[in-house]
Chain A
Amino acid sequence: MTLIKPTRRGVIQAGALAGAGIAMPTILTAESHAGYRNAPQGSSVTLGFNVPQSGPYADEGADELRAYELAVEHLNGEGDGGMMNTFMANGSKAALKGNGILGKKVEFVTGDTQTKSDAARASAKSMIEKDGAIMITGGSSSGVAVAVQGLCQEAGVIFMAGLTHSNDTTGKDKKANGFRHFFNGYMSAAALAPVLEKMYGKDRKAYHLTADYTWGWTQQESIAAATEAKGWETVKNVLTPLATTDFSSYVAPVLNSGADVLVLNHYGGNMVNSLTSAVQFGLRDKQVNGKNFEIVVPLYSRLMARGAGENVKGIFGSTNWHWSLQDEASKAFVKSFGTKYGFPPSQAAHTCYVQTLLYANAAETAGTFNPCGIAEVLEGLQFDGMGNGPTEYRADDHQCFKDVLVVKGKDNPTSEFDLLEVVEVTPRAQVEYAPDHPMFAGGDLGQCNPGA
């Protein structure tokens, strides 16, 4: 039995079709000529803002999105320009002109990470593949940042990390296409430990509750190491799933553990719930080992402070930036954010806004959107006028180095936004570490990938 009986006409027709098919590839897209993925066509360039719109970090995500919209406005020359007026790169005024990036109008697409690695990657992938995003930024969880950073490395676009505080993001999971402006767990610990020693003394027993993922693990490790160096003892570390909303079963055993300090390695909604739970159990009124029981929240934000309300009073932590800072850049940013939305920005909003401007400036300086050109500019970039004082993007691991703020929940807040006060500005030198520090070792930046 023959399935196919070739006829002369059939063969000629099939040949013609096949020929047409082979000729098709000559109608190639311009993308492959430009030498990198998603080279902007026409008069606009698309950025991808991938933020949590649901889940425990949804508040941060919403604020990040506001900051991105503001940054896009400023880049396109609308609004008052915010930090574009104060931004100094390598000692001279930034290259941004307020006419988009490289003369192309900035447009953006948004996606929901759901604070899940899988969903975040799917959302980033669709922005890259469908919408032609040239850069992905955002996120409020280190698990997501690490996952999306890996994706961007494979796909060949730049990833400007949003709020991610794990050591791993620029440690063992660092990637050549990924950049982080936010500080990390090690820096928090290095800034916080001396203050804690001063306030609570050398002889303390700490009990850690830790969010069970890369950020929690590395922050707990950093805090434990830094406080133990000051003479503290770590009694116990309990891992809590990220999706937990009721922490009472985790808080109850703290009282009988003999610990006199509770360290909450939680962020966002997690921290609001765990702190509230701890306060409701009366931990803060207890005396243990002859000392007042204390609670520490190493990574703080105003959004969390608002969520936790009264409970944050007198609690120490660290933060990347706070809206009450009085430098020109911070004031300009707070003013333009406040004018648009009616309230001051959070640290998540700040870091995302800054990352967008840094990216735009790098593209403008490099004269191209090619990820490798942009990475070259960002590596070793010294900049100022972005709210954190002089800052450097270290070339070895793509981590920003700058001063770290130690903050405390205000005892007498004057408004619903005035919840934190800056206790100390820890200088950069004190929080700096070598790129091959054991807590960051094992990673490999690899080569920058332009994706085509």
Chain B
Amino acid sequence: MLGLNKKDTGLFIFVICVTALAPFIMNPFPADSAMAQFNAGYPDLMQRFVIFGIFAIGFNILFGLTGYLSFGHAAFLGAGSYAAVWMFKLLSYNIVPAIILSVIVAGLFSVIIGFISLRRSGIYFSILTLAFAQMSFAMAYSVLTPLTNGETGLQVYNDDPQWLKGDGPDATHFFGLEMRSTFELDLGAWSFSFNVGYYFCAVLMLVAFYLSMRIFRSPFGLMLRAIKTNQTRLNYTGLNSRPYTLAAFVISGMYAGLAGGLMASMDPLAGAERMQWTASGEVVLMTILGGAGTLLGPLLGAGFIKYFENIFSKINESVLHGWFGFLPDGIENGLIWVAEHFVGSGWHLTLGLLFMLIVIFLPGGLMEGATRIRDRFSGDKNKKDTEGKYAPAGE
């Protein structure tokens, strides 16, 4: 179907089902129960899952296929966001022109940065992209304040021109369909929210995912893998690999721009910190955590990290007191003292530990874990001892 082989079709259908049913899957606990703390099925977080999924899928096209590790992808995300918010300020809250412009701007931006950075490979490439991204951050943060509104972030004001707005809604919309409108469904103790913005992002994410599958399976994708395996040998065969890497770089930059444009479309504000190196590092983490070079991995990684960032960071001391309240005071306070370093503002610590465990025991990321579990259950004995089967090719 759609030019995919049987296995990929199955995977694609699986992803479609999961994204469509996400409001149910993410809210497994009744709304009033103590476990509701762990529900992730609210619009903002679900939007983040798919938007960062797009970001990571795009990053994976560059890193997973060519092995070029960019530390500057947040610059494209930020550029996309600023472009989108400017479209809101100048035209109207319709997100279509905003998203189109954000992809174009990020694409142009990545042509420039890619053209220069790709003259080097390996660590030098990473450092160059990092430098460019930090430069963009500094510019957005202070030099280009009239364009970016600096630290406060670019917002839409009532007195902005919005030439095409007319009587249109005062919130971001897709031809009248407001992104923030949410339908709440209560089923007994459970409550589920179906948000327009989420489904809009989810459709684009599926398109992005489909495109990335086609790229992975195309001759172009094969060429990118060849670059990762041995670029020198490829060059000796008389082939110029740079157009291929540049194309991959620009494609992944445009994915980042799309993600940035969507972020602004869900919440019309663009802050400079979106471009900071920590944001670039985050997408690297997502990809590696999920499994670089796999189709589904980056999506999983993005979901994993965003879940931790938004759910674990919300668990504060009083929540812990609620959990451990039944214990004797001494033990309770001891446990809370230990636990509070791993939740709330200490969620980075938990994430760091998990990241270490995964990189050490599952070098292929979460996808390797999934494959191992599947092999165990399918009882495929002869596969088990093929060492290195899980490791990404060419590492």
Contact = CB atoms under 8 A, between A and B. Distances in A.
A125 B152 contact: no
A231 interface: no
B271 A147 contact: yes
Interface in B330-371: 344-345
B35 interface: no
A116 B279 CA distance: 13
B184 A28 contact: yes
B150 A213 contact: yes
A121 B345 CA distance: 16
A17 to B, nearest CB: 14
Interface in A6-59: 24-25, 27-29, 31-32, 53-54
B155 interface: yes
A29 B190 CA distance: 11
Given A29-B191, A112-B345, A117 B269 contact: yes
Contact of B274 (A32, A118, A150): A118
Interface in B136-150: 138, 141-142, 145, 150
A67 to B, nearest CB: 15
A439 interface: no
Contacts of B39: 130
A319 B268 CA distance: 34
A213 B148 CA distance: 11
Which of A24, A110, A151 has the most chain B CB atoms closer than 10 A to its own CB? A110
A242 interface: yes
Interface residues of A, number: 43
Contacts of A117: 151-153, 269, 271, 273
A69 B43 CA distance: 28
Contacts of A112: 313, 344-345
B158 interface: yes
A29 B314 contact: no
Nearest to A444: B158
A172 B158 CA distance: 10
Interface string A135-179: 000000011001100110011000000000000100011000000
B42 interface: yes
A111 interface: yes
Interface in A428-445: 442, 444
Interface in B250-280: 267, 269, 271, 273-274
A126 B267 contact: no
A122 interface: yes
A118 B183 contact: no
Nearest to B191: A29
Given A143-B152, A147-B271, A130 B185 contact: no
Contact of B314 (A109, A146, A168): A109
B312 to A, nearest CB: 11
A53 B153 contact: no
Contact of A147 (B153, B158, B159, B184): B153
A137 B371 CA distance: 46
A129 B192 CA distance: 11
Contacts of A142: 152
A412 B217 CA distance: 75
B188 to A, nearest CB: 10
B184 A151 contact: no
Contacts of A110: 314, 316
Given A213-B150, A446-B158, A147 B142 contact: no
B100 to A, nearest CB: 23
B44 A129 contact: yes
A342 interface: no
A121 B185 CA distance: 25
A86 interface: no
A442 B160 CA distance: 11
Contact of A143 (B151, B157, B159, B185): B151
B372 interface: no
B345 A122 contact: no
Contacts of A53: 344-345
Given A29-B186, A109-B314, A111-B314, A118 B271 contact: yes
A253 interface: no
Interface string A298-339: 000000000000000000000000000000000000000000
Contacts of B142: 212, 239, 241
Contacts of B145: 212
A214 interface: yes
B55 to A, nearest CB: 14
Contacts of A28: 184, 186
B155 A129 contact: no
B183 A25 contact: yes
A146 B43 CA distance: 22
Contact of A214 (B138, B152, B193, B313): B152
B143 to A, nearest CB: 10
Interface string B19-49: 0000000000000000000010011110010
| Best-surrounded residue of A24, A126, A239 (most CB of chain B within 10 A) | A126
B150 A125 contact: no
Contacts of B314: 109-111, 126
A119 interface: yes
A444 B182 CA distance: 27
Contact of A212 (B45, B151, B186): B151
Nearest to B347: A112
A212 B183 CA distance: 41
Contact of A121 (B186, B267, B344): B267
B37 to A, nearest CB: 9
Interface string A100-130: 0000000001111000111101100110011
Interface string B48-66: 1000000000000000000
A129 B43 contact: yes
Contact of B267 (A31, A111, A116, A151): A151
A142 B310 CA distance: 23
B267 A442 contact: no
Given A29-B191, A110-B316, A122 B44 contact: yes
A25 to B, nearest CB: 7
Contacts of B157: 172-173, 444
Contact of B42 (A116, A129, A241): A129
Contacts of B158: 444, 446
Given A118-B271, A126-B44, A151-B267, A27 B152 contact: no
15 contacts: A24-B185, A25-B183, A29-B184, A117-B269, A118-B269, A126-B45, A129-B44, A143-B151, A154-B171, A154-B180, A173-B157, A213-B150, A214-B152, A239-B142, A444-B158
Top 9 nearest A-B pairs (CB, nearest first) are A213-B151, A117-B153, A130-B42, A118-B271, A117-B271, A129-B42, A125-B44, A143-B152, A444-B158
Interface of A: 24-25, 27-29, 31-32, 53-54, 109-112, 116-119, 121-122, 125-126, 129-130, 142-143, 146-147, 150-151, 154-155, 168, 172-173, 212-214, 239, 241-242, 442, 444, 446
Given A27-B186, A147-B155, A444-B159, 14 more contacts: A112-B313, A116-B271, A117-B152, A122-B48, A122-B310, A126-B314, A129-B43, A129-B182, A150-B269, A151-B269, A173-B157, A212-B145, A214-B152, A446-B158
